[in-house]
Amino acid sequence: MTPPSASRRPTRLAEKSSTDRAALDALLDAGVVGHFGLVTEDGTPVVIPTAIVRDGDRVLAHGSTGSRWMRRLAQGVPTALAVTTYDGLVVARSAFESSLRYRSAVVFGACVVLPDTEKEHALDLVTDALIPGRVAEVRRPTKAELAATLVLALPLDDWSLKVSAGWPDDEPDDIAGPAWAGVVPLRQTYDDPLPAPDLAPGIGVPPSVAALGR
């Protein structure tokens, strides 16, 4: 486990900061979408949302070789990748103490481009992270598809993690008052799968899709 560098440690709510690598991994494995921050040529910031998957001690992201921002990340410019889950409402007795349950990680560093020899395996990881078991149900990617895809890896060397999983922390006067306090947990659930308009009759929902969210 590598602790976050001092300059990047969260400055507020230090009680919520964590150097727990297992908790970082759990968040990265739960988060589907990450936000890459980078600095453009003119010095202004841009933020790019993209699907991410953890692969051991690195995070993988993929995109088109035609994407301007993917290409800039591929050059190894400094980046910050934020992965956040919103897990519920902390309903305090005052608006001031009310907040969110969340998990938030930021990984600092620079991306490297995966070589062609690692690309196909990495894309399998992306697919099976989103839909476990799907890789075994579909054809292999073609050479043209692989050539059109850029896969980036960001090492988990320098990161910070904040976890808010607690209860309202009201002042004594408010606790003695009449207002309710508690937590409302939030959950993401998949609805029933919808067949594509061009799906041929008789093709049933595959096991990977049927198992989602079960």
What residues numbered 185-204 form the site for a second copy, per CB under 8 A? 185-191, 193-200, 203-204
> Minimum Å distance from CB 140 to a second copy?
9
Q: Identify whether the C-beta of residue 86 lies closer than 8 Å to the C-beta of residue 79.
A: no
Q: Which of 1, 6, 44, 115 binds a second copy (CB under 8 A)?
A: 44
For the chain, the distance separating the N- and C-terminal CA atoms, rounded to the nearest angstrom, is 32
Under rule CB under 8 A, residue 95 binds a second copy: yes
Q: x/- contact string, 132-171, with a second copy (CB under 8 A)?
A: --xx-xxx-xx--x---x-----------------xx-x-
Under rule CB under 8 A, residue 214 binds a second copy: no
> Minimum Å distance from CB 25 to a second copy?
19
Under rule CB under 8 A, residue 5 binds a second copy: no
DSSP H or E run through 22: helix 21-30
Alpha helices in 98-166 (DSSP H): 116-130, 143-147
**Residue (34 or 58) nearer to a second copy, CB:** 34
3-state secondary structure of 69: helix
Under rule CB under 8 A, residue 30 binds a second copy: no
156 secondary structure, DSSP code: S
Beta strands 33-39 and 99-110: pairing type?
unpaired
